Structure 1
Amino acid sequence: MDDQSITGVRSVTMAESREHTFTGTTGLNTIRVWPHSRPRYVAILIHGYGEHIGRYEYVADRLVRHGAAVYGLDHMGHGKSAGDRVHIADFEDVVTDVYSVEEQARDDHPGVPVVVIGHSMGGMIAARYAQRYGDGLAALVLSGPVIGEWAIVPILLAHEEPPDVPIDPATLSRDLSVGAAYAADPLVWHGPFKRATLEAFATTLATIAKGGRLGPLPTLWVHGADDELVPLNGSRPGVEAIKGTNLTERIYEGARHEVFNEINKDEVLDDVTAFIDRAI
């Protein structure tokens, strides 16, 4: 990874993390690392649309306590990374950026198994990542993935100028403090979709659908049964199209979109860590 410059170590209430930057496919990206001195595995977190990796502190803390060194970047145009806000012209570039993160993690921890965990848009990126780089992975976790059919994309693309359709923070979690924090977060994008990004979503969903199955790669799919943002019935055909021979499915009754931030988040993360134990 090129052009790394440490920007400081930050003390948090959970696991310690540090940030640095690297030159990605389209500009300067920020990466966050939650280190572990002797990790059993590396976890690469891939965040969703409009948000940033800083929203995954609790997930990272659980994974570090489970024995992982955790890495995650702010995608181009997201969080602290450079670029026009939420503008992604080609998700293949984002996949390439994530691979740069994996290369850094492998340099830091040679021979340690790598697990990729993606949420929402990050689940779409993770699925495509597994199609391109899955041979090197120990496991894959897809949380509420944008995969298969996401109805909002063709609806918004029907307009020359996509209308602003704000996310209702209450759809994120039954823990309403999650939505309140999201709404107040200055690093979260609260404006409309960019047309180029919507077109890139449509292209990538089609690419994944015909991109091949995941073979023996251990894969865990977790989803909220009451997810209104990325409905379960839209994602299911996408998962069916790519699943290999080792898929585990967990659907949580009553849960909304962000299962890692839900009132039963510890149950979800227990399922994730138990799955990783089996995989590695």
Structure 2
Amino acid sequence: MIESTDREVSGRRGKLMVREWATPNPGWIALIAHGYGEHSGRYQWVAEQLVGARALVYAPDHLGHGRSSGDRVHFEDAETIVADLDALRQEVAAEHPGLPIVLIGHSMGGMLAGRYAQEHQEHLAAIVLSAPVLGTWHVLDLLEHDEIPDTPVDPATLSRDPEVGAAYLADPLVWHGPFKRATLRAIDNCLLAINDGPTLERPTLWVHGEDDELVPEADTRTGIDRIRGAEFHEHIYPGGRHELFNETNKAEVMNDVLTFIARELNS
């Protein structure tokens, strides 16, 4: 196991806790944007695979998530978190000038990565979107209620491996309460902005599980089709649920991701 170290980064609304996984001879930088309600510590295995491919890996806990500051899972503007990602990017790029940067976003983090890429494409060598919230998202229907009902994430939707769901439920840094209205509105506004934004000109890989009930592939595709650029690749995995990096075929998924990144960095 490769131990991570911690750093603090000044975000727009407070301190961000960032996990860093180092390698002695880095060839590139990987930035990971995690999903709603979770935290960067859940990407330990992913980080180890990236380090094995000579990446320096940085993964922040977003505002209101994990060990970062802010009310839990509460933010009023997704652009705040996009700005936080750029603050981290600027810091690590200054420490390691010349290393190409790959942004990897999962679920809500995929939405944030997509928006970041629209605004800061010049800083990225490639983009990886894992089950990104793009296009439309059925969870936003909760905004129709006067009071947001308590509808926690069903751990069975995460992976075919039951241990993943059990660990998710037992994780004290994972949010297990109801969605926040302000956060849902911020996500809705971000999706609208992405739909009206520029296409992704940097090489992009989209990976998604065919049986993803939390973020259905068909809904994401409506957003992907609006922003996909000339160099766009996708892998849709039969039977895969929401967290492909925690799925029973995670080695296959990671191999596809690393193959894509290696090809783009060497091209």
Aligned mate of 1:272, from 229, 253, 257: 257
SS of residue matched to 1:71: strand
Rounded Cα–Cα distance in structure 1 between residues aligned with 2:213 and 2:207? 15
1:243 aligned residue: 228
1:116 aligned residue: 103
Q: Runs of 5+ in structure 1 lacking a partner?
A: 1-13
Between 157-166 and 111-120, the greater mean CA deviation after superposition: 157-166
Rounded Cα–Cα distance in structure 2 between residues aligned with 1:188 and 1:53? 10
Instruction: Give, in angstroms, the shift of residue 37 of structure 1.
Output: 2.2
Give yes or no for contact 1:173–1:262 (8 Å, CA) kept in 2.
Answer: yes
Q: Runs of 5+ in structure 2 lacking a partner?
A: none
The one-letter code of the counterpart of 1:158 is: E
1:3 aligned residue: none
TM-score normalised to the size of structure 1?
0.94
Instruction: Give, in angstroms, the shift of residue 20 of structure 1.
Output: 1.6
Rounded Cα–Cα distance in structure 2 between residues aligned with 1:22 and 1:40? 23
Instruction: Give, in angstroms, the shift of residue 35 of structure 1.
Output: 1.0
1:100-139 correspondence to structure 2 within 5 Å: 100-139=87-126
> Percent identity between the aligned chains?
54
Task: State yes or no: 1:69 paired with 2:69.
Answer: no
1:205 aligned residue: 191
2:155 aligned residue: 169
TM-score normalised to the size of structure 2?
0.98
Instruction: Give, in angstroms, the shift of residue 125 of structure 1.
Output: 0.2
SS of residue matched to 1:213: coil
Between 253-262 and 30-39, the greater mean CA deviation after superposition: 30-39
Rounded Cα–Cα distance in structure 2 between residues aligned with 1:21 and 1:156? 34
1:180-199 correspondence to structure 2 within 5 Å: 180-199=166-185
The one-letter code of the counterpart of 1:275 is: F
CA RMSD of aligned residues (A): 0.7
Task: State yes or no: 1:40 paired with 2:40.
Answer: no
Instruction: Give, in angstroms, the shift of residue 36 of structure 1.
Output: 1.6
Instruction: Give, in angstroms, the shift of residue 22 of structure 1.
Output: 2.0
Give yes or no for contact 1:72–1:101 (8 Å, CA) kept in 2.
Answer: no
Rounded Cα–Cα distance in structure 1 between residues aligned with 2:61 and 2:146? 28
Which 4+ residue blocks in structure 1 deviate beyond 4 angstroms?
none
1:92 aligned residue: 79
C-alpha deviations, 1:160-179, integer Å up to 9, x for none? 22101111111100011000
Give yes or no for contact 2:26–2:55 (8 Å, CA) kept in 1.
Answer: yes
Rounded Cα–Cα distance in structure 1 between residues aligned with 2:143 and 2:20? 36
Rounded Cα–Cα distance in structure 1 between residues aligned with 2:191 and 2:200? 16
Instruction: Give, in angstroms, the shift of residue 40 of structure 1.
Output: 1.0
Aligned mate of 2:143, from 144, 157, 163: 157
SS of residue matched to 1:238: helix
Give yes or no for contact 2:74–2:183 (8 Å, CA) kept in 1.
Answer: yes
Between 239-248 and 99-108, the greater mean CA deviation after superposition: 99-108
Rounded Cα–Cα distance in structure 2 between residues aligned with 1:129 and 1:197? 18
